[in-house]
Structure 1
Amino acid sequence: MNQEQIKIADTCYELAEQKAAHYFQSLYVLVSQKAYIPTLTNDLHSWKHNHIHHYPLLSSFLRGKKKPDSQEYHNYIQWLDYTGKLEPYLDRSISYIFMRDLGKSLDSINTQTRIRRVVDSLKTHLTTGQGDKTKDFSIAGLYRWAQKEGIETTFIWLMNKLKTVSANIPKGMDAEHAQRKLIKIIAGVLMHVIEEMSSEITPAERTQKLDNAIRLGYSYGLTYPFIDDLLDSEILSDKEKKQYSNLIRTTLITGSVPKLGEWTGKTKDLIRYIHSELRSAFEYIKSHQRPETLKSFFEQSYVFFHSQEVDREKDLSNSNYTNEELYIPIILKSSSSRLIVRSVISAPEDEGFDSRTFFYGIYNQLADDFADMFDDMKEGAVTPYTYYLKYHDKRSDLINPFELYWAVISNLIHNVYHSDSKTCEVILDRAINGLKRFKERMGTEKYNEVMNLFASENPKFNRVIQRMVRKADDVDFFDKLLRDHMIVILKNERKEQDDFLSTIETVRNQINNILKIPKVENGSLLKDPIIDAANYSLEGDGKRLRPIMTWVLGVNEYGLNQTAIVPLLRSLEYMHTASLIFDDLPAQDNASTRRGRPTLHMVYNIAIAELTGLFLTQKAIEEQASLDEFDSKTVLNLIQYSAHMTELMCKGQAMDLESKGKQLTLEQLNMMCFYKTGIAFEASLIMPAILANTKEFEMEALKKFARHAGIAFQIKDDLLDVEGDLLLMGKPIGKDAENNNSTFVSILGKEGARKEMWEHYCLAMETLHEVPRNTAFLKHLLNYIVNRDH
């Protein structure tokens, strides 16, 4: 990085700073002269006619259906549709997104046409089977969308990336927030790309553009957790933060990512991962830039980064910041973050976009800072609101940020959007909605306390605003509803996942404690190698998935006595372990390690291994026959079913052996792996269902789930055999190729195998909707199956 490059970057920032200073000065005039008050008062008086309704008692009775809480996502959508409010609700919501995220002007006929198209499509989705609550926002639902668009490979790539990013977010940072932010940015980039597509675009071109959009969105989105959030956290020391910031600055000034250089200490591995991932992301964005947009991309990125750095260095204990020092950096960072998106996707120039986006940014920033002011205060962050909270009684020169917020709104409506009535409607809807949400979250007493501080200088204008906050209707927005719903989903998912992992660990320990086969004292001088060999195999570090599934379904869902089903749990693990012993034999897969230890025939000999496998199958039947707390006919049905499943498993293994060196069709491979793997999953679910005398339709749904889950499990095994980690796997990798086995990878290739795995994942997830039970455990089991490392 030479002096000339630094000078160019500094000049670029100075020009942006001058523009922001000019904008700030115009807002300062509006605030100091109170010029925004009469204008907005008139706007609000006109606006209120559509939002303050006086319903007579009889009319309220006739309307019937009570308004649900807006956080009840599906019920709220149904209520909006029932009352005829859904269409205007979606119209203002999509209009706002077109303004905020796409930088569009609402007085454009073309924009109105596009908004109408989106509203109609979204309304159809929300009010028909496509909007079924069982499919919304699920990974399976998103994969189905990716299939429709021909970007399954991109989706799989993104899932792996999000998983890796979450795994590398250190303690002290919020992994869920990072993931939400990434997804939001990817969605924003997708919106821009879709908006830029012409109606004549071919399906192949659309697929390519969507693929690029997702990868570009991910690449740009990484800057938030791995630059902004990381530098805001306490993960790095002050020295490390400076070193890391210099790396980012050098990259943006020179256009090339420098080598990491020497980095020591506990953050070494983290920084190496982040440096590698950001370098790949930067190179991807750079390679997709048109020459004419590359310069503006670097300029906007530098302005964005440097303004964040200026803002980040502020200290709340410093009482001497000027208004300009407080506001100019947030004008720059709030506008440049949105301007960059257009550069990232190399979009052509849109007349007025840069201007609208520049003036609009601070509106959103002030709204967000208002909502978060008390959290920011706890963290010691400097925002216009936290600074005013701390120093308003000591600094009479400080601009009240709440007043500035309304001045920005007035300026946007009348100077930027030229008094367009639709724009006025949407912006005021959003402003009043923001205050309503804040009041609901903080409570009336705290809200009034905040208003007494921030709005007391303009009591007449404040009375108008507070009347709207109390009485105005129809000011809520779909993106807020969606955000709240997504947060609830993610919290529930996290709790379910924690419960899943806790259950796995607890039940696994219980099962491990009941598996050991005791020796029978027979007075013989001879040793009993069969029992020793059986216990050696059972003591291996097995996942115990099959008996765990049986325990969860049997105890938690069917209410079976957990002590009563202990024999069934043993029998499942005995049968599974026997199948592994046979599978590892030289005549079959000839494996040398299993569950991280030498295989049984390597420790003893082939004959003992064969006899031990046979012994364990008989022990499994003996255990099933000892289910003495259940009706004898039910137990006989279970044993008959179990014997039939064992027959099919043997046929599956024979098919596997017969297939060595042969090229199977996908249909043959699906059948074989269902016999080998899916059958065991099915038995784990159907056996407790048999004991509970479950209805046939439910058992059929469980069988269907088990079939697809088992195939997905086998495909993941095939993938791990070619790309897994030996230490994590606990057995050699590459055995399928060595044994000349037909696998999903050998038939479909790695990419095709991944698609096939996700197809069966979706089919299994969709089948769970047919099971009239709490299926959270099975859902997370399926997630574990496709995401596991061993």
Structure 2
Amino acid sequence: MKIENSKASNWYKQAEDKANQYFQTLLSYLKNNKSTTILYKEILMWKRSHRAILGAMYPGYDKRLVNDKGYLSWLANKGKLDRYLERSISYIYLRDLGKNLSDKETKERITHEKQKLKHSIEQGDSIIDQFRLSAIYRWAQKEAVEEALIWVWNKVNTITDALPKAFDAAHAKRKLIKTIAGVVMQALDDLPNDSTKGERTKQVDKAIRLGYAYGITYPFIDDLLDSDLLSSSEQETFSMMIETAIINQAAPRWTKWQGNNQQFMELVQHELSAAIASIAEKHQKETKDQFFEQAYVFFKSQELDRAKTLQNTEYTNEAIYLPVIVKSASSRLIVRGVLGNAKDHSSNERMFYYGIYNQLSDDFADLFDDMEAGAVTPYTYYLTYKDQRPDLINPFELYWTVITYLIHHVYQADEQAKEVILARAINGLRRFKAKHGKKKYQQIMHELKFGDNKLQRLIQQMVEKATDVDFLDKRLRDDMSQSFRQEQQEKADITREIKRLRQEINELLYFSNNKQVNDSAEKITDAANYSLQGSGKRLRPIMSWMVAEKVYHFDKDAITPLLKSLELMHTASLIFDDLPAQDNATIRRGRPTLHEVYNTALAELTGLFLTQQATYEQASLKKFDPEKVLELIRYASHITAEMCKGQAMDLASKETEQTVAQLETMCYYKTGMGFEASLLMPAILAGINTNEKQQLIDFAYHAGIAFQMKDDLLDVEGDATTLGKSSGMDQVNNRSTFVSLLGKTGARKKMWEHYCDAEEALMQLPEAYHFLHYILLYLIKRVN
């Protein structure tokens, strides 16, 4: 172990020595004022090309910033879209891939990507919609990596759902997805132009899995050690384990965690162990050693920064800045190295020098959060001690020195690199000002002022006036963060609402006994109550209730008969489905089936009793137009008859192998029509247009088939306790299923395809139907 520690110390020393050389070069620029003179001229020249886009010329410009399509349309109308897209794509090639923007091949790739994106925008597509789950899955289908995407989607959701409240789950999800996307982008860039389809698929699949393996370290190492979830001694123990794992390139022996964090820490240990093993086994020895060396350097620099405290008055400039240079460079080099393909030394060098530019910008953006947390960054430390420590370097001045060095010594004054770097700097200041307000911004600028007043005035003039300095990835980052937080909140709201509605519906589903009638006659009401009181999900009446309430604003009392009828119809179908002459099931909703408790004859009568009671309830919809109620009853009778046909198809399928198309048709009749009825019945009462009805039918069709495919998967993967019914019944009945025809992997892919079709139908509906997105997700995520 001592040898390993010595080797690791040498890794960090080499990185620190290189960082120090860079830092001393920057200091020399600072001391002889090289940077300010050069940079003033550069910004002055750059300003000329931006004069036509002064904010004062376009009243109302800032209002457009809140709208994706509106902003892009504004750019297109003003002839600014090409430059905006080229700058945004160039930024990614420079930041994430370390490319030389003057390189001919890089220019051609940027132009190609710009034209693709521009065409999409001109077609009216929303950029953020291209990052919807359905859109990403369509991309995965083209790349033939559906299995990897399904795997990583399940992983990401498991992780973010398990994060304790001390974590920012939306930020963790965005960071994880961004890391995976970065590794995939790196994989595609590394592919030779003559790669076969199979080679491309293999590389992208590998990138998705390794991107997750590396990305998981952010919430499960960095965020965990930054949080207060663990005690000081637990943090030290955990940190030593991670260091040992990196040095030995293998998961260490984990400690046994106790208390409230036990379940979460067991998940952390399981996922990190799998991640380390995955990275180690997919590398050759040379590239594996390089990756883990960079990983150690990054981890060590993070640890050094984490150990700092604002109470310490004696940190040197080197102590403040060297870990920042090291970690900002190594974090990007790790992403390049995780695939084991990166051998471009010049790209690695560019990324090394670029790192501190990006880090100082991020630290400035997070200034107030870091101050509140007591974190030591170049900005927080300087602002705390600048009056006591005249030797401290002003990080804002150093930031502009780094910009000068990058433009002239790393990118050789390339015009596109200059456009990206200067626009990124001005945009960062503008975003800070917009977020915190003019007063706070001016206060901070006063605190961070440095020697060259002329340069500072020019910078502030551009912050005040320039508008064409935005970047697509920043807009996407904001949209994704907002979307994830909104999704998180809406998901929690919908979950609570479903729980409440289920309870209220349960209270409606009870038939009282008529004591004046012979007891034997009342067995049918007892049997009905037994069937209705099982642990049903009540999904159909819940969907109907939400549509009625959220879309059409119907009163609960007015719609109650409809809700009751839907569950009565559904429960009746389950009773018939379970009969010995049909599926011969023994468990339903976690209890013995009705014919097991009573007898087959009474079960048949109870099913018929419930269907008639459902019609009675529908006829009791007194607060609606009678013609609409009559239309609803006709529709419900038709749907019930069609669902009977579906069950007949199901029975006929026993002992006979079906095609996938036949199974899909049968699923629509058996399940999709039930979903359709739940959505269309309140729509019929509301009298909506034909087009909206058709979109609801399309949604229900695909959602119902996806639901059945999930059922088929659960039938082979679940157990009676979690399912609430007997598992393996399809095999017992020798019945074709999506799993028997396609295998588990094929069935999952097909399920996701129908998910996408349902999501795409949903996108055509008014915004009020948005809650169905969460119902759809539930259908494919459920475990019972």
Into which bin does the TM-score normalised by the smaller protein fall?
Answer: over 0.9
Query: What amino acid sits opposite 1:77 in the alignment?
Result: L
The equivalent residue for 1:567 is 561
SS in 1 for 2:387: coil
Q: State whether structure 2 residue 748 is matched by structure 1 residue 749.
A: no
Equivalents in 1 of 2:63, 2:158: separation in Å?
Answer: 39
- Alpha carbons of structure 1 residues 219 and 615: separation in structure 2 relative to 1, 3 Å: same
SS in 2 for 1:266: helix
The size of the alignment, in residue pairs, is 784
The equivalent residue for 2:89 is 94
Query: Which consecutive residues of structure 2, in runs of 5 or more, have no partner in the other structure?
Result: none
- Pick the aligned partner of 1:342 from 328, 336, 351: 336
The equivalent residue for 1:21 is 20
* Alpha-carbon displacement from aligned partner over 1:99-134 (angstroms, at most 9, x marks no partner): 1111112222222222222212221122225x2569
Q: State whether structure 2 residue 483 is matched by structure 1 residue 489.
A: yes
The equivalent residue for 1:762 is 756
- Alpha carbons of structure 1 residues 361 and 511: separation in structure 2 relative to 1, 3 Å: same
The equivalent residue for 1:114 is 109
The equivalent residue for 2:731 is 737
Query: What amino acid sits opposite 1:744 in the alignment?
Result: F
Equivalents in 1 of 2:638, 2:68: separation in Å?
Answer: 46
The equivalent residue for 1:83 is 78
Higher mean C-alpha deviation, range 82-91 or range 238-247: 238-247
Equivalents in 2 of 1:676, 1:634: separation in Å?
Answer: 25
TM-score (norm 2): 0.96
The equivalent residue for 2:427 is 433
The equivalent residue for 2:660 is 666
Equivalents in 2 of 1:173, 1:631: separation in Å?
Answer: 51
Query: What amino acid sits opposite 1:104 in the alignment?
Result: K
- Alpha carbons of structure 1 residues 664 and 18: separation in structure 2 relative to 1, 3 Å: same
Q: CA RMSD in A?
A: 2.0
Equivalents in 2 of 1:81, 1:360: separation in Å?
Answer: 31
Equivalents in 2 of 1:88, 1:750: separation in Å?
Answer: 47
The equivalent residue for 1:7 is 6
* Alpha-carbon displacement from aligned partner over 1:455-513 (angstroms, at most 9, x marks no partner): 15432321121112112242111111221222232233234323322332232222122
- Alpha carbons of structure 1 residues 133 and 13: separation in structure 2 relative to 1, 3 Å: closer
The equivalent residue for 2:119 is 124
- Pick the aligned partner of 1:70 from 55, 65, 71: 65
Equivalents in 1 of 2:53, 2:507: separation in Å?
Answer: 69
1:590 positional shift: 2.4
The equivalent residue for 1:553 is 547
The equivalent residue for 1:279 is 273
Is residue 394–residue 450 contact of structure 2 (8 Å, CA) maintained in 1?
A: no
Within-5 A mapping of 1:519-558: 519-522=513-516, 524=518, 528-558=522-552
The equivalent residue for 1:611 is 605
Equivalents in 1 of 2:53, 2:135: separation in Å?
Answer: 42
* Alpha-carbon displacement from aligned partner over 1:714-744 (angstroms, at most 9, x marks no partner): 1111111111254332223222222222111
Equivalents in 2 of 1:492, 1:711: separation in Å?
Answer: 28
Q: State whether structure 2 residue 223 is matched by structure 1 residue 229.
A: yes
Query: What amino acid sits opposite 1:12 in the alignment?
Result: W
1:35 positional shift: 2.9
The equivalent residue for 1:634 is 628
Q: State whether structure 2 residue 466 is matched by structure 1 residue 472.
A: yes
- Pick the aligned partner of 2:361 from 345, 367, 379: 367
Equivalents in 1 of 2:334, 2:226: separation in Å?
Answer: 21
Equivalents in 2 of 1:268, 1:686: separation in Å?
Answer: 47
Equivalents in 1 of 2:659, 2:143: separation in Å?
Answer: 27
Higher mean C-alpha deviation, range 255-264 or range 186-195: 255-264
Equivalents in 1 of 2:342, 2:686: separation in Å?
Answer: 64
Equivalents in 1 of 2:335, 2:455: separation in Å?
Answer: 37
1:402 positional shift: 0.8
* Alpha-carbon displacement from aligned partner over 1:515-548 (angstroms, at most 9, x marks no partner): 1112223164657211112112111121111111
The equivalent residue for 1:514 is 508
Equivalents in 2 of 1:513, 1:283: separation in Å?
Answer: 52
Is residue 417–residue 423 contact of structure 1 (8 Å, CA) maintained in 2?
A: yes
SS in 2 for 1:680: helix
Is residue 73–residue 482 contact of structure 1 (8 Å, CA) maintained in 2?
A: no
- Alpha carbons of structure 1 residues 508 and 263: separation in structure 2 relative to 1, 3 Å: closer
* Alpha-carbon displacement from aligned partner over 1:625-660 (angstroms, at most 9, x marks no partner): 222233333323222221221112122112212212
Query: What amino acid sits opposite 2:301 in the alignment?
Result: S
The equivalent residue for 1:40 is 39
Is residue 71–residue 485 contact of structure 1 (8 Å, CA) maintained in 2?
A: no
The equivalent residue for 2:154 is 160
Is residue 762–residue 770 contact of structure 2 (8 Å, CA) maintained in 1?
A: no
Higher mean C-alpha deviation, range 580-589 or range 185-194: 580-589
- Alpha carbons of structure 1 residues 769 and 420: separation in structure 2 relative to 1, 3 Å: closer
Higher mean C-alpha deviation, range 598-607 or range 650-659: 598-607
SS in 1 for 2:628: helix
Higher mean C-alpha deviation, range 768-777 or range 681-690: 768-777
1:135 positional shift: 4.1
Q: State whether structure 2 residue 642 is matched by structure 1 residue 643.
A: no
1:756 positional shift: 1.0
Equivalents in 1 of 2:40, 2:499: separation in Å?
Answer: 62
TM-score (norm 1): 0.96
1:453 positional shift: 0.4
Runs of 4+ in 1 over 6 A off after TM superposition: 54-57
* Alpha-carbon displacement from aligned partner over 1:373-409 (angstroms, at most 9, x marks no partner): 1001111111111111221222222111111111111
- Alpha carbons of structure 1 residues 543 and 266: separation in structure 2 relative to 1, 3 Å: same
SS in 2 for 1:267: helix
Equivalents in 1 of 2:743, 2:663: separation in Å?
Answer: 14
- Alpha carbons of structure 1 residues 268 and 82: separation in structure 2 relative to 1, 3 Å: same
1:771 positional shift: 2.9
1:761 positional shift: 0.9
Query: What amino acid sits opposite 2:72 in the alignment?
Result: I
Equivalents in 1 of 2:680, 2:415: separation in Å?
Answer: 62
